[in-house]
Chains A and B, each alone.
Chain A
Amino acid sequence: MVFKLRTLNSNSIIVCAAIFLASCASGGAKKNTTEVTVDSAELEQDIFKDISHAKQIFYSLPSPLESAMLIKSAGANFNDKILNPLNNVTKYTNNKTMSLNLGIYITDLSYASMFDQAQVTIKYMEVSRKMADGLGITDAIDQNTINRLEENINNRDVILDIISESFMSSTAFLKENDRQPLATMSLVGGWVEGLYLATQLVGEGSIEGNKIVGRIVDQKLSLDMVIKLLENNKENKDVNDIEILIKELKKVYDKITIKSSKIQAVVDQKTNETNLKSTSTSNITQEVFVELKEAVKIVRTNFTL
């Protein structure tokens, strides 16, 4: 070991020092974000304003599985025509497109799994595996994952667990190997795909009382976190480009106001579950919804073509 170290030249030392300094700098950057506030005047209070001196700050987006669950629970149907086509996979050859479409394909397979579309789920896991392999993710999605899906084709709980595990392992691998921008792009790709699927599943009629539209409006609350995640990695050019696109989407979301009443926490003594009681209203109009649907489509097209 000592011999090997002695053979390293000064360039290697500079590289190592740069890695060390970069890791320190990135920690510093995270702390700096604690002082940033976002403009969300439409909320009663800005949740990020009173940010503490936390060592670590997590901004969590709805995962592919949660997005799919939200779509299903809003009463949507399954439509395979709106998924990102499997044959698009050959187009994704660089880190940006592979990261984005890893999130997109995992969201598509999550959506398919919620509707018990076993064969679609397996095919989309296979293309997700290609994206993961292309990104050098070694321990997340492999042949064993595909085999387990096939063996448990009628066991919904196991299938959901495999999907959850695959996504966690993929993003954890990228985060742990100092590839946070790629993890961020996967998360954002998945979030945009969930939004795209939801907007495409809203029928042509009035949006009044439409539960899927309600879920789409709710994504305004996660949009702040999408932007925070992107800002934390904006030194990466690909992430920066995505942030510009997402901020165009934000301009449309800014036309929607959400108002919430005070939350009252009530514990059910039998189940020990807490019910967070509150009401909320939004002012989305048919015109704004059409605009939003188009804005989401533009971002999704940019990610997938």
Chain B
Amino acid sequence: MKKLLPVLISILLFISVSYNASAQCKGFAKKVCKSELIPYIHDGNYNAAMLVEGEEADFYKTFYADQQYRLVVCGTESLPSVEFKVMDANRNVLYNNKDHNMAKAWDFKLESSQQLRIVVKVPASGQKKSEAEILSGCVAIMIGFKDQGK
């Protein structure tokens, strides 16, 4: 039992840290990131994850013809500016925020419905770091659309 105690404490700490991190992520997405969508209406989907420097997330979604969208990708202050690029099904890059001063938002509309892939990356500093020095934080991907029913 004594031998198992440190393992148990580690497990409980892991569960507790994971839960707190995801709860913070939800709060960040709702309170900070969502405001970047205004005046677009948030679609209501929740897409957020904890990432560390150098990690990527992939986001797949079908966007529909004749709709106007805003894509917002934002990270917590603990992270460097988050990179994102949007690609079509043929892997052509349609937008890369590195070409637009690391913008958090991209407004677009489509003439025909398309599956798009959004690749999000937290840039790595390139320096060797200890585990404690590696930056980590929440990254949220949010979609808004214009209310065309008014």
Contacts and interface: CB of A to CB of B under 8 A. Distances in A.
Contact of B94 (A45, A224, A276): A276
B117 interface: yes
B8 to A, nearest CB: 5
A66 B69 CA distance: 11
A156 interface: yes
Contacts of B89: 43-47, 260
B111 A65 contact: no
Counting chain B CB atoms within 10 Å of each CB, the highest count among A5, A10, A169, A273 belongs to A273
A172 B46 contact: yes
Given A16-B8, A168-B42, A225-B60, A69 B106 contact: no
A54 B114 contact: no
Interface string B61-74: 11011111000000
B30 A168 contact: yes
Contacts of B113: 218, 221, 280
B19 A10 contact: no
Contacts of A208: none
B60 A176 contact: no
B9 A5 contact: yes
Nearest to B51: A55
Interface string A141-165: 0000000000000001100110111
A72 B111 contact: no
Interface string B1-33: 100110111011011001100110010011000
Nearest to B47: A58
Given A47-B60, A274-B106, A156 B119 contact: no
B62 A16 contact: no
Contact of B109 (A23, A222, A276): A276
A55 B44 contact: no
Nearest to B110: A276
Interface-centre pick from A63, A167, A263 (highest chain B CB count, 10 A): A263
Given A60-B61, A63-B43, A218-B62, A275 B108 contact: yes
B88 to A, nearest CB: 5
A163 B47 CA distance: 17
A3 interface: no
B62 A176 contact: no
Interface string A51-65: 111111111111111
A298 interface: no
Contacts of A260: 89, 112, 114
Chain B contact surface mostly = mixed
A271 interface: yes
Given A54-B58, A224-B115, A69 B145 contact: yes
Contacts of B116: 47
Interface string A237-271: 00000000000000000000000111101000001
Given A47-B60, A262-B90, A271 B107 contact: yes
B4 A13 contact: yes
B23 A262 contact: no
A171 B47 CA distance: 10
Contact of B45 (A63, A160, A272, A276): A63
A283 interface: no
Nearest to B88: A263
B62 A221 contact: yes
Contacts of B51: 55-56
Contact of B57 (A58, A224, A265): A58
Given A60-B61, A156-B147, A160-B41, 19 more contacts: A5-B5, A8-B8, A43-B89, A47-B117, A55-B51, A56-B57, A157-B41, A163-B44, A166-B44, A225-B60, A225-B61, A260-B114, A262-B92, A265-B94, A272-B107, A274-B95, A275-B108, A278-B110, A278-B111
19 contacts: A44-B89, A45-B91, A54-B55, A56-B58, A57-B60, A63-B45, A65-B44, A69-B145, A73-B66, A73-B148, A160-B41, A167-B45, A169-B30, A228-B60, A260-B114, A262-B90, A273-B68, A276-B109, A280-B112
